[in-house]
A = this chain, B = another copy of it.
Amino acid sequence: MTDGANTWQAVQAEVLRRIRSGQWAPGGAIPHEADLAQELGCARTTVNRALREVAEMGLIERRRRAGSRVAMRPVRRATLDIPVLRDEIEARGAAYAFTLQKREMALPPVSVQARLALGADRALLHVVGLHLADGHPYALEDRWIDPEAVPQVQDADFTTLSPNEWLVLTIPFEGGDIAFSAHAATQGEAAALRCPEGAALFVVERVTWRGEARLTCVRLTFAPGHRLVTVI
């Protein structure tokens, strides 16, 4: 009877305590929901609610009929917030600005063709622009948009609103994938970001899709020193 409050938060805290203290060892089984409910003096529903989140964190594994056990090899799961660049910059207390550098229809390079799963003969809208924080280069946005998948893009004016922001407002909440990597500054990137050619830059690449249709892919190249931080 280690019971206290009968809220799911209290149950979860107790469960986490037992896992971290080693009382429930990695790989070992933990009591059934019903037993825990009785021990802690709450309903099984409450225990289920508490354990579900622990399972989502990756600390325990649950299987019907087999029960729950502490994960043998805990996979740390970190949640990253990917804000719109304007918000990210303004949250730092800096003044945000965007300058459009290119906007044209063009045949994308094979790398973009592959990531958007398009044929070699499809011209896409290519938009390049620079995000500035207090006048200093912050990130270079290089984006390809499929005008067939996003027809509204023909009317978009990217001189005032960056594509980054426009797309979030226009086709919000769609799925996609993100990749993070490091990349040596090309001559063009070095000029735009005002850094030496070959400097190590943090790169975020994103593909956005709706259902089967690939809508856009973007490559954000950040100025030197950029860090992406989160808490787990």
One digit per residue, 1 when the CB lies within 8 angstroms of any chain B CB and 0 when it does not, for chain A 136-180 equals 000000000000000000000000000000001100111111111
One digit per residue, 1 when the CB lies within 8 angstroms of any chain B CB and 0 when it does not, for chain A 61-89 equals 00000000000011111111111100100
A59-B173, A202-B180, A231-B175 given; A77·B81 CB < 8 A: yes
User: Chain A contact residues (Cβ within 8 angstroms of B): what range?
Assistant: 35 or more
- Bound-state CA distance A176–B74 (Å) is 14
What distance in Å separates the Cβ of A168 from its nearest Cβ neighbour in chain B? 6
One digit per residue, 1 when the CB lies within 8 angstroms of any chain B CB and 0 when it does not, for chain A 181-210 equals 111100000000000001111110000001
What distance in Å separates the Cβ of A213 from its nearest Cβ neighbour in chain B? 13
Interface 9-residue window, one of A33-41, A103-111, A126-134, A221-229: A221-229
A178-B229, A180-B202, A202-B180 given; A76·B81 CB < 8 A: yes
Inter-chain contact A19/B173, CB cutoff 8 Å: yes
- Bound-state CA distance A81–B76 (Å) is 6
Inter-chain contact B202/A168, CB cutoff 8 Å: no
- Bound-state CA distance A21–B87 (Å) is 24
Inter-chain contact A75/B82, CB cutoff 8 Å: yes
- Taking CB as reference atom, which chain B residue is nearest A229? B179
- Taking CB as reference atom, which chain B residue is nearest A56? B79
Further contacts, 10 of them, CB under 8 A, given A182-B202, A183-B200: A19-B172, A26-B169, A73-B83, A73-B87, A75-B82, A80-B80, A177-B230, A181-B182, A182-B200, A198-B198
